[in-house]
Amino acid sequence: MNWPWPVWIAHRGGGLTAPENTLAALRAGARAGFRMVEFDVMLSADGMPVLMHDDTLERTTNGRGPVSAQDLAALRMLDAGAWQGSAYAGERIPTLDEALDLLCELDLDANIEIKPAPGFSALTGVTVAREVARRWPADRRPPLLSSFDEDALAAAAATAPALPRGLLFEQVPDDWARRMQGHRAVSVHCDHRLLDAARLQALIDAGVPVLCYTVNDATRARGLLAAGVRGLFTDRLDLPEAV
Ligand code: G3P
Ligand code: MG
């Protein structure tokens, strides 16, 4: 298919340059020249979509316990930036709505990874898709939704069928074609370390856009692009220049 999205995608907003999944991260990605960012979205206890990778708060905030046990008001009190240095102290966990507004302001494309907490697959898929469909301007290229969680992806498809979806794997399984068809997915996203040349060639021969995470090495990036990979998620905001 004709693939409209940029090749380079800043992983978790701004790679390792700013605290992941924050508005500062999205700004860092844009400032470095990226035209597309990826970020992860999970639900608070009261069902509000927020940017978060881990099920628990300890690694990226000063909170404790499961993200899904705290309502939005409690999550918003937390510091999600100080762990990456005092310059980011006070950075908050963003809502999906805030992130969508900033994407428009910064003129960024996005891959929104639906990252349900355990037990919240369908609700997370529905909520993310509904919010993106409600809020995203009709004249802008829509965000590409993706998930490792196929129940979440199916729920997103049922909620907002027009939003494009990528199927996200660690290792691409043998039945990738059947799964893609089932989800009416436009792309396959996978861990480049688990992608062998034969599987990549089969995907490319079938005309499937392949996006690889998380590529932080220039030689590997060149090789994947030469082989026909359409998108690279990276933690290194300097990598496009090096490739
Ligand atoms: O969506 C690509 C990549 O972000 C998947 O891995 O764990 O960084 O969300 P993870
Ligand atoms: Mg992700």
- Establish if 84 belongs to a structural domain: no
Domains identified in the chain, total number: 1
Q: How many residues does the chain have?
A: 243
192 catalytically annotated: no
Sequential DSSP letters for 50-62: EE-SSSBSTTTSS
Q: Which one from 11, 183, 189, 192 is the annotated catalytic residue?
A: 11
C-beta 233 within 6 A of ligand 1: yes
Q: Give alpha helix (H) positions in 66-185.
A: 72-76, 96-106, 121-135, 150-159, 176-183
- Establish if 141 belongs to a structural domain: yes
- Establish if 63 belongs to a structural domain: no
Instruction: Give the domain CATH number at 174.
Output: 3.20.20.190
Q: Is 56 left (phi over 0), alpha (psi -120 to 50) or beta?
A: beta
Q: Which atom of ligand 1 is nearest to the CA of 146?
A: 1
- Establish if 114 belongs to a structural domain: yes
d(CA 89, CA 72): 19
- Establish if 179 belongs to a structural domain: yes
Q: Whose CA is nearest to atom 1 of ligand 1?
A: 113
Per-residue model confidence as pLDDT tens digits over 3-58: 999 999 999 999 999 999 999 999 999 999 999 999 999 999 999 999 999 999 99
Element (DSSP H or E) covering residue 120: none
From ligand 1's centre to the CA of 153, what distance in Å? 15
Q: Does pTM surpass 0.85?
A: yes
Per-residue model confidence as pLDDT tens digits over 194-239: 999 999 999 999 999 999 999 999 999 999 999 999 999 999 999 9
From ligand 2's centre to the CA of 52, what distance in Å? 9
Q: Which atom of ligand 1 is nearest to the CA of 40?
A: 9
- Establish if 193 belongs to a structural domain: yes
Per-residue model confidence as pLDDT tens digits over 74-101: 999 999 999 999 999 999 999 999 999 9
d(CA 88, CA 14): 13
Q: Print the domain residue range for 133.
A: 8-55+96-242
- Establish if 88 belongs to a structural domain: no
183 catalytically annotated: no
From ligand 1's centre to the CA of 213, what distance in Å? 7
- Establish if 212 belongs to a structural domain: yes
